[in-house]
Amino acid sequence: MDTKTENRAAEGGRAPIGVFDSGIGGISVLKKMISLMPEEDYIYFGDSANAPYGDKPDSEVLRLSESVFDLLLSKGAKGIVVACNTATSVAVRKMRGRYPDLPIVGIEPAIKPAAEQNRGGRIVVMATSVTLRRPKFARLMESFRDQAEIIAMPCPSLVEYIENDRTDDPALMEYLMKKFSRFADHPADAVVLGCTHYPFIADKIRRAAGPQAVLYDGSDGVAREIRRRLAEKNLLKDAAADPERKKALERCGAGHSGIGGNIEILNSAGENQIRLTRRLLGL
């Protein structure tokens, strides 16, 4: 590596990782990233003013995603995680074309591990209507069709329960019970949480799907993938190389508590949603 490249990598290493979702759901992914890379700085943008993306035309989801990219890049993000299945399916390819040098990682329904671990079983994929109607999803489903029975379950309006902090509303449990009632005779072996909001109601989904159902979500893979992509470009923050930072991390118990770097939370809907985000993140 020449000196110029080294300098750029060192500067980039100190920049935050951008993470975004249509709202607060991407926090389930950010949590995994923090536990894998506690020393990193993060900037999270939730577009709650425009949530849900999942019921919008693709062109609108693309336009919204583009403006979030602009925002995160204007704040110096060294890589971007699209912690939203819906925005990933519509926008990630285009964004990679536009920013070929920027590490960009999206999320897709975790059908692969579900199919591999439940061969011959029944797998229900819960996601928004946009995610399920995209060709990307059809291809994903097709490639595992001979390993398991895969059933798509569009869940319109489910995101709103989480966005509006109504996860204790009895109507939510009714919604889920109704959705899963069609599988009463042959319950699902696995349920894929194909929307980053759903891990926040995992206990209720488990109750509706039955105790046999194993839940899968893609956030672990996303966290590992962005770390790999940043490492490849020498853009990870090297805590050990900065003695002051290392001491600060040790003082706050990073690696144990899991939180070491700075986390900036932004939300298009304002303060209430930022408070809810912080609560979900455990801040």
Q: CB count, 10 Å around CB of 38? A: 19
**131 interacts with ligand DGL by CB under 6 A:** yes
72, 18 contact by CB (below 8 A):
yes
**81 interacts with ligand DGL by CB under 6 A:** no
Q: Considering only residues 54, 79, 109, 154, which one is a binding residue for ligand DGL as defined by CB under 6 A?
A: 54
Q: Considering only residues 95, 132, 141, 159, which one is a binding residue for ligand DGL as defined by CB under 6 A?
A: 159
**48 interacts with ligand DGL by CB under 6 A:** no
**86 interacts with ligand DGL by CB under 6 A:** yes
44 phi, psi to nearest 5 deg: -110, 130
What is the distance between the alpha carbons of residues 274 and 252, in angstroms, rounded to a whole number? Answer: 23
Q: In the block, which residue shows the tokens 């609108």?
A: 60
**22 interacts with ligand DGL by CB under 6 A:** yes
Q: Considering only residues 34, 51, 64, 191, which one is a binding residue for ligand DGL as defined by CB under 6 A?
A: 51
**Single-letter amino acid code for the residue at 190:** A
Active site residue 84: yes
What is the distance between the alpha carbons of residues 149 and 121, in angstroms, rounded to a whole number? Answer: 6
Q: Considering only residues 81, 195, 259, 280, which one is a binding residue for ligand DGL as defined by CB under 6 A?
A: 195
Active site residue 155: no
**52 interacts with ligand DGL by CB under 6 A:** yes
Looking at 195, 222, 230, 254, which residue is catalytic? Answer: 195
Smaller CB separation from ligand DGL, 37 or 84: 84
**85 interacts with ligand DGL by CB under 6 A:** yes
**109 interacts with ligand DGL by CB under 6 A:** no
50, 277 contact by CB (below 8 A):
no
Q: CB count, 10 Å around CB of 228? A: 12
The residue nearest ligand DGL at its CB is: 54
Smallest Cα–Cα separation from 133: which of 92, 85, 94?
85
Smallest Cα–Cα separation from 107: which of 182, 246, 218?
218
86, 227 contact by CB (below 8 A):
no
Active site residues: 84, 195
Binding site for ligand DGL (CB under 6 A): 21-23, 25, 51-54, 84-86, 128, 131, 159, 195-197
